[in-house]
Chains A and B, each alone.
Chain A
Amino acid sequence: MEIRIANQGDSVLLTMSGRFDFNDHRVLKSTYDPILLMDGVQRIEIDMAEIEYLDSSALGMLMLLRERAMAVGKTVVLSRPNPVVAQILDIANFKKLFTIL
């Protein structure tokens, strides 16, 4: 998986691509940890359009990110999942946890 970061004022856009699974824990965490410390950032958007697949570990990582973000008063938004990814999010009922755009 690859992650690109774009700073958009009070929002940070993380564009992830490829297969998002249990191998990506460290890279994701090292990406979002500094973002969680940024005072001006209110919202973290994860653009999922280029994610081909996510496994249950990836769902766990998203949840962890959400909890960590909530603890520092930031929100996490998921956007543009492809049909496969959307189905995985749907089965896990992530709509109850995240705003999915």
Chain B
Amino acid sequence: MIATLFPKRASNKLHVLVVDDTELNRRLLETMLNKMGHAVILSGSGMQALEIFAADPPDLVLLDVAMPVMDGFEVARQIRLKNVWVPIFFISANTRNEDVVQGLHCGGDDYLFKPVNYEILQSKIRTFQERLAMSERLLRKNHSLLDYRARIEDETDTAREFIKQFTALDKIDDSLVRFLLKPAENFSGDLIAVARTPDQRLHVLLADSAGHGLTAALAVIPITQPFYQMTAKGFDIPAIMREINRRVRDYLPLPRFVAAVMVSLDSAEQNLQVWNGGCPAALLLSDDGNEVLHRFVSNHLPLGVVAPDQFDTTLEYYSYTSGPARLLLCSDGATEMSSGTGKNLGHAGLLAESKQGSAPQLFERMAAVIEAHLPETGPDDDIALILLECPIDQQSLAAPEFIQQPRSGNNSTLCEYGKNGEPIWELAVTLTAAQLRRMDVVPFLINITGQINGGNTGGKVFLVLSELFNNALDHGVLKLDSKLKNGGEGMERYFEERKHRLAELQNGQISIVVQRQGCQACSCLKITFKDSGPGFDYHASRGEGLVRNRQRHGRGISLLASICNELRYSGNGSEVMACLSISD
């Protein structure tokens, strides 16, 4: 388009079309123009001028007005109908104002009187050339801006698609989780992630990255990856948050700073664990939303602020024993909406305005309150809200689906081949106090078992390894009594005591052996744990008491017995062998 408007000129030399029915006038103009250094094409009539113009458009037209057949005004009108724009100067003996005005109306750019003065013509042409050059520069700039804008829009689309893949909001599909995410701009700096551990604990993360737009949205990359990968491997909140904090520090530009709240819900034990750094309090509500049972306030700095070695992973624990509950998580964008009233909606406003109605519709009511308070121009800040169901029903107590499947040959003894033959592979590891204090043992075992065996070993193996390990560590090495968990603050007391004893641990060890048995038919995995603890009376524990108290004392031995082909304690109870089939 630029090329047609402004043909590239090597110099200031113009091709000028001179149109006049009088030979003398044409020669006069030709002499002047040649002297100025321009090339001249002469035409004696309007019709001929249009033909020349059509064949090879000049850079400038000097046009007489009074001509027979077709006058200069008509020639100008015809030229203006063409796609090419070329400046037209009228050259006329008619000096009346009306003539000048009509000439300009017909598309003329200037109007000179005969006889033409050399200096005036030269300076008019020069001025016009300068104006042309200027508009050419502007047009080129405008063009490059348009190009730039198109490219940015392309890249924005790509970035949005890329970030969409990372956030994978469309893949969040958990019956316990309802959420709302409203970005203030193209990109959301608020992030929601939901995943289950292999043993079906529910992990939920809400993160609010400082700022808005793409810069803020980039934070999803160092956050979602460790969240999903580590949750899938069964890591707990402290390990995951420590890793995310490290990555936010390593990868995000200053000021890197991500407020986040992470929840681990174990509905089988009705236990909630929360880490909150910089987000509004997570509220535990009664099922109908009318009552606040507990506030998990922010007691940490946002992610990315403190160095890895100073990162505080202290969690807050809560057992919702009295009935089903809901946990409300939101970013400050949700509570600080003011809907033009200048007063923040706040937690209190959100709860008060969504109170009336049935329990199942609580989320819909909250979403409606948020919508109602949105400014007409859309949210000023990214808004994220999650409502998490914390159920208590018996169905979810049994959580993992595979436990409910009827087992063939349950509690049968080991297959003959597995009992006597050589294992296909064996992993044996003994960990002492130094490693127990520092390591996340279960994900490590799962990872290495998976690698040796080839592929994912599944939730069943995770469950058995984590139960056996936690029993060996908690009750064996750390000598914790399950009774600590009783009572209102029991869970919290238990975990605090566990953390304390683990940090102080000087002696003790756990030996673990995992063997893949050689029987092709049943693909048995034999897992043995032996700890340095005092053991326990396993004969009593298999009785009714433990089954009845399951919800307070962990899934326990009865659960293990239900998914293992065989579960056998020996010695003083500090040694246990589990055999489970991994073929299904």
Contact = CB atoms under 8 A, between A and B. Distances in A.
B305 A63 contact: yes
Interface in A12-71: 22, 55-57, 59-61, 63-64, 67
6 contacts: A59-B210, A59-B257, A88-B332, A92-B301, A94-B301, A97-B305
Nearest to B256: A60
A56 B254 contact: no
Contacts of B381: 55
Interface in B267-281: 277-280
Nearest to B255: A60
B371 to A, nearest CB: 22
Contact of A56 (B210, B297, B300): B210
Contact of A96 (B210, B280, B301): B301
Interface of A: 22, 55-57, 59-61, 63-64, 67, 84, 88, 90-94, 96-97
A57 B280 contact: no
A15 B124 CA distance: 59
A93 B299 contact: yes
B213 to A, nearest CB: 9
B108 interface: no
User: Main SS of the interface on chain A?
Assistant: helix
Q: Which 5 A-B pairs have the closest CB atoms?
A: A60-B255, A60-B210, A56-B210, A64-B255, A60-B257
Given A57-B212, A60-B254, A92-B298, 18 more contacts: A22-B212, A56-B208, A56-B209, A56-B332, A57-B255, A60-B210, A60-B255, A61-B255, A63-B305, A64-B254, A64-B255, A67-B254, A84-B344, A91-B280, A93-B298, A96-B301, A97-B301, A97-B305
User: Main SS of the interface on chain B?
Assistant: loop
Which of B208, B298, B305 has the most chain A CB atoms inside 10 A of its CB? B305
B473 interface: no
Interface in B300-318: 300-302, 305
A28 to B, nearest CB: 11
A92 B212 CA distance: 17
Contacts of A92: 259, 278, 298, 301-302
A93 B261 CA distance: 13
Contacts of B277: 93
B121 to A, nearest CB: 52
Contacts of A61: 255
Contacts of B209: 56
A96 B278 CA distance: 12
